[in-house]
Amino acid sequence: MLMSLNPWGESQIDDYDRVCKEFGIEEIDEEITGKMKDNRFFRRRIIFGHRDFGNILKAVDAGKPWAVMSGIKPSGAFHLGTFTTASEIVELQKMGGKAYYCIADIESWQDNGIPYEESASTAIDNLADILAVGLDPERAYIWRQSQEPTVKSTPYFVSKGVTNNMLRAIYGEHQFGLYLSALVQVADILLPQLREYPMPTVVPVGIDQDPHIRLTRDLTRKYYQKKHGFFLPGATYHRLLEGLDGSDKMSKRNPNSYFTFEENEKTIKRKLQNALTGGRDTLQEQRDKGGRPAMCMIHKLLTYHFLQDDKKLMEIYEECKAGNLLCGECKKFAIDTVLSYVRDHGTRKKKLLPTARKILDLDE
């Protein structure tokens, strides 16, 4: 199958080992896994690759400053896909890094046609969501692309080293506005070092966002590394979570493939009840052959987000494989667990909406 990475559309990933080799991504080795054992995304092998994450670990060991940078495109409600990256930035911030969090309203305009004034309310909502996940605003710098002067001016500087052929080689053929928004993201990723001083920076992303990382590293080498001592921005890459219904990817065009945290409990419950499982065709066959948790979206949701207890997660996995745990019982547990989390998240978020509005300096 063709291997392609498209940050603005469908990405085709058939083999994560192959994608590491093809795009020069380092695999997560046992040393990193051992040092990151308190982070479930590393411990559970959800994060499969990285670029220069060793610089972060060296900074941690030496007690030197470092940053974790990420963001969200304010084009809709907080959902399972954005939940993964939000959770990763929170976990990395807990290790001692300063968080830089971008509201990508320029990209939202270019990719989705949403005007800044319209995306502003969504930005408040999205920011309250990540604060509810656990982002500490006292150890974070948060900005809207359209309102950050350095982010808007840097693309003019770095674009001197960019050609149409270079952008097509990295991204493929797209409308030029998306290329411009990619240069804005270069500024976002470099902002910790542009705003403060050279320091290791890690950007947790899904593998489909790697083109932005490669472009930023290329331009950092050209303009900032030798002259200003900048570190090449690093990254961690997580496996993309497939659609709940078994489709290749969660997509707004397919509402049954995901749920947002704003949906009512009845709708979320229905989507989880209809989610793809690793169950066999009959109860007797499942008891005889066992289930297939590796392909089950219910088990993947518990693994990525909703079950913190490793022992319980492994117990579910083993009992399913042995044919002792049937899908109905497992789904009931998962639905109760997910709905409990979403309910608690909503309560936390409601209290944090005024904080999000204040941070973004947006009136009622």
Q: What is the mean pLDDT of each run of 10 residues along the chain (364 residues)?
A: 64 77 91 94 95 97 97 92 94 96 93 91 96 97 96 94 90 88 95 97 94 96 96 95 86 88 95 92 88 93 95 95 91 96 97 96 73
107 in Cβ contact with 73 (< 8 Å): yes
Q: Could you tell me if residue 309 is inside a domain?
A: yes
Residues in the chain: 364
Could you tell me the residue range of the domain that residue 68 belongs to?
A: 16-240
Shared domain for 259 and 232, answered yes or no, is: no
Judgement on whether residues 232 and 124 belong to the same structural domain of the protein: yes
Q: Write down the pLDDT at residue 178.
A: 87
Pairing type for strands 140-144 and 26-27 reads unpaired
Counted domains in the chain: 2
pLDDT for 177: 86
Q: Are 348 and 130 in contact (CB under 8 A)?
A: no
* Dihedral pair phi/psi, residue 65, rounded to 5°: -70, 150
**pLDDT at residue 276 in the model:** 93
Based on the fold, state whether residues 173 and 301 are members of the same structural domain: no
Q: Do 154 and 236 reside in the same domain of the chain?
A: yes
> Are 209 and 272 in the same domain?
no
Per-residue model confidence (pLDDT) at position 1: 43
How far is residue 243's CA from residue 276's CA, in Å, rounded to a whole number? 9
Same domain, 210 and 267: no
Domain assignment of residue 98, yes or no? yes
Q: At what angle do helices 176-195 and 210-220 cross, to 10 degrees?
A: 60
pLDDT for position 307: 95
